[in-house]
Structure 1
Amino acid sequence: MEKFGMYAKFTAKPGRRDELAGILLEAAAAAQHVEECELYIVNISDTEPDVLWVTELWSSFEAHEASLSLEETKTAIQRAMPLIAGVEATKLKPIGGKGF
């Protein structure tokens, strides 16, 4: 089975980045208990004050999709939606590297 990766760019509504970051960091903490989630890193931009990036690595695309049906994931998404002005996601097929 191929691994699945994703970069997600979240643009928060003006002044709401830190609040959105808190929700994403809670999701990262919850992902510690999901074996199929191998990496979930929340990043902020030094040059774009309302932008956050999430870097994800999963054991498979199916594992990522299954995570979206977890009750805690659904709750986090509902809490985050009012804070988000836009989302861009780039799906990736990881092939190797340090930490892979």
Structure 2
Amino acid sequence: MFANIGHLGTLPGKRDDLVALLTRPSAELGEIGCLLYEVGVSEDEPDTVYVAELWTSAEAHRASLALPSVIAAISEARPLLSGAMGGTRFDVVGSPLRRGA
């Protein structure tokens, strides 16, 4: 499995618009290998959106970026973003919540 945990800075007052965009239902993501896509906010950082993604593989994550719906969402999100972003990606090696993982 592959995880991508990040944060996106938004222009002032645009956080909720980005949250609405990122939380639109998408069966395509599940079909291509997304196991988890959680969007969060913190009142301590009112112009930041957090995203936690879990994928079957890094390849599935890369493939998602070629989906027409994802390309369109990225284009729609760009005007909402401040340019501040960061995060980390890693290969998942185990969990106390799953057997054999």
* TM-score normalised by structure 1 residue count: 0.87
2:42 corresponds to which of 39, 45, 59? 45
| Structure 1 residues 31 and 40: alpha-carbon distance in aligned structure 2, compared to 1, 3 A threshold | farther
Unaligned runs of 5+ in 2: none
CA contact (8 A) 2:18 2:80 kept: yes
Partner of residue 84 from structure 1, selected from 64, 81, 92: 81
Tell which structure's C-alpha radius of gyration is larger: 2
Match of 2:52, SS?
strand
Identity %, equivalent residues: 38
Q: Distance in 2 between matches of 1:54 and 1:4?
A: 14
Which secondary structure does the structure 2 equivalent of 1:95 belong to?
A: coil
- After superposition, the Cα gap between the structure-2 partners of 1:31 and 1:11, relative to the gap in structure 1 and judged at 3 Å, is farther
Structure 1 residue 95, shift from structure 2 partner: 1.9
Contact 1:43 1:52 in 2 (8 A): yes
- Bigger fraction of residues in strand: 2
List runs of 5+ in structure 1 lacking aligned partners. none
Secondary structure (helix, strand or coil) at the match of 2:6 reads strand
The range that moved more, 84-93 or 11-20, is 84-93
In 2, Cα distance between equivalents of 1:19 and 1:90: 24
Alignment correspondent of 1:16: 14
How well do the aligned residues superpose, as a CA RMSD in angstroms?
1.6
Equivalent residue for 1:95? 93
- Tell me the matched-pair count: 96
Describe the superposition over 1:66-99 as per-residue Cα deviations: whole angstroms up to 9, x where unpaired.
Answer: 0000000000000000101122131112122236
Are 2:53 and 1:56 aligned? yes
One-letter amino acid of the counterpart of residue 34, structure 1 = G
Q: How much has 1:31 moved relative to structure 2?
A: 4.9
Alpha-carbon separation, structure 2, partners of 1:32 and 1:70: 8
